[in-house]
Structure formats: C-alpha cells, structure tokens
Amino acid sequence: MSNIRIGIVGYGNLGRGVEAAISQNSDMELVAIFTRRDPSTVSIKSANVPVYLVEDAPKYKEQIDVMILCGGSAKDLPEQVPHFAQWFNTIDSYDTHANIPAFFDAADAVAQQNNTVSIISVGWDPGLFSLNRLLGEAVLPVGHTYTFWGDGLSQGHSDAVRRINGVKKAVQYTLPIKDAVNRVRNGENPELTTREKHARECYVVLEDGADANVIETEIKEMPNYFADYDTTVNFITETEFDENHQGMPHGGFVIRSGQSGEGDKQILEFSLNLESNPMFTSSVLVAYARAAYKLHAKGDKGAKTVFDIPFGLLSPKSPADLRKELL
C-alpha cells in the first residue's frame, strides 16, 4: 500500500506537532506545508518538504490525501474547514464547544457536495474526552459524568493575566481539586460547584514598578476567568519564569460514576497526563487523518466527529491483526 499523503495548513505549535507526529507513523508522509506567511521565511524541520502559500493549496489536490488544518478555533477554522473541504479530506481541532453544531453543518454541506470527508473537533477535549463521556453514559445510563482538567496550562487564562497593565509575563495553571476528585472516584456522586472542582494558580513576572497587591486583586476579581475560583497568585523573577514555566503540560480526567442494574457501583475513568498539550493534540489529529483516508477510500463522505469513527480505522494494522493482537 502506498503511503497516506498529508498536507498541513498553518505552522504554529500544532502544525509543528503534526509534522513531528507524521514522522512517527511509517504509513504516512508529509507532502507540503501551507502558510499565510511568506514561505521563504518559514523554517521547518523536515528536509525536502516544500512550504507553499496557502492560496496555492488547491493546485495540490491530486498529491494530498488528507489536509490537517492547524489554525485557531476563533477565526481560522470556521473559514478554513469549509474552504479546504472543497478539495481535500480534512481534520481539524475546532474546540469552541457551543458552536460545534453550526461548524459541523457548514463542513458537512461542503464535504457532501464535494465527496470529501471532514472530521471535525478532533483532539482530546473535544475528542478523546468526549468519547469517554459518551461511553460512560451509554454503558451506565444511571450515573453522573464528571470532567476535570489539569494539572495544566490554560492558554486563555494566561492571556487574560498578560493583558493586565504591569504584567510582563504570566502563566496560569488549572488544578483539579483533589478532595473533589477523590469523592468522585469513591462513587459519592457529589454535586460540585465551579469553585469546588478546580483551582487556578498564576505565576506572574511584574514590570518594573508595578504594584503586586493591585495586580493580585485585579486577577482574583476578574469576572468569568477568576472570580468564581480560588486563585493563587505567585510573583516570580523572570529567570525563574523562563526556567520553569515554558512548557505546556495539561491533562485531566473523565469519570463516569454509575450503578448497574442491580445497584452495584461501577466507575469508569479516562485520564491524560500530558507533558505537551499541543504535541499530544497533534498526535490525535494524525491518527484521525488515517481514519479520514480510509473512509474516503471506501467512498464515504461528509462531516464526521470522533463519535462516528470506529477505533479500528485509527490504526495502521489490518482488522485481522487488530483482533489477533489487541482484542
């Protein structure tokens, strides 16, 4: 079988992660990277892989089996997915949960018309966590589902702190509260408030002359972002920041705590402990690119989510080998 030929649109953290993940999968090859920047200024890791302007992508329709779209959810993906699905099978990591239905419909209309497959909202949440939310309630219809995030860096909350006057650098970590997690794991099915589920911890480098007390108060009282949480603010030196807070760890867990038909407590848990959030998301995107390729090869089309994809399609192994080795 010939390799699955992948294109990447966008070369930020996620695009770089997809490039690296493809190199771990011997049934795949990276054909080209597409960028909105001047291609001559984009330095990539792969030798012999060309960088093209994003506008030129349709020219490579015949050379690319699946296009992995690595833009952001706010502006890039709502535009890019319906655009690229005209010519390519696509994978994206659209993660604005509330807008997923509309996003799906837009992708589906284009993909149906053009006989392409577009798997949307791939990653770990939405993605692998969603799968486990579904599995938990399908298998144990009587019960409660809990999603906890962290320990992990939240990009949105870090940005919010960085926008405060007097803040030079900042990161924010989301921390699941251990007591709440333990109660859930014990099958207590607690009702948990926002404050009881997660805490927020900030590491902040101040600009010269900034007032720590003022900034700490401003962070803790910020509506939507921090006001509903117990927030700790740590002021640190720039050296310490650069040494210890450059990574992008994340993770969390989905727990289904239910009762089977005769009242026995049954608990399912899926957890992730990630040293790099974007690198892991990229790895998931690449596995689902394989599924998009296989579905398209069978004549399938339209928008899909992780709920529509049998796990067997994620693997390079044949169904017979999977049954023999992994079942």
Shortest distance in whole angstroms from residue 235 CB to its own copies? 28
Shortest distance in whole angstroms from residue 284 CB to its own copies? 5
The alpha carbons of the chain give a radius of gyration, in whole angstroms, of 22
The identity of residue 309, as a single letter, is I
Tokens 């005769």 — which residue? 262
The CA–CA distances, whole Å, from 181 to 191, 248, 253 equal 12, 22, 9
Among 135, 175, 210, 222, binds its own copies (CB under 8 A): 135
Helix (H, G, I), strand (E, B) or coil at 17: helix
Only segment of 72-80, 149-157, 220-228, 257-265 that touches its own copies (CB under 8 A): 257-265
Shortest distance in whole angstroms from residue 109 CB to its own copies? 14
Assess 270 for contact with its own copies (CB under 8 A): yes
Interacting residues with its own copies between 17 and 46 (CB under 8 A): 17, 19-25
Dist. CA 43–CA 28, nearest whole Å: 21
Q: State both tokens at 47.
A: 């030798």
Assess 312 for contact with its own copies (CB under 8 A): yes
SS3 content of the chain, % helix, strand, coil (to 5): 40, 25, 35
Assess 289 for contact with its own copies (CB under 8 A): no
Dist. CA 172–CA 23, nearest whole Å: 32
Only segment of 73-81, 211-219, 227-235, 318-326 that touches its own copies (CB under 8 A): 318-326
Dist. CA 130–CA 125, nearest whole Å: 6
Among 139, 212, 227, 297, binds its own copies (CB under 8 A): 139
Binding site for its own copies (CB under 8 A): 16-17, 19-25, 97, 100-101, 104, 121, 126, 128, 130-135, 137-142, 185, 260-262, 264-276, 279-280, 282-284, 287, 290, 305-312, 314-316, 319-320, 322-324, 326-327
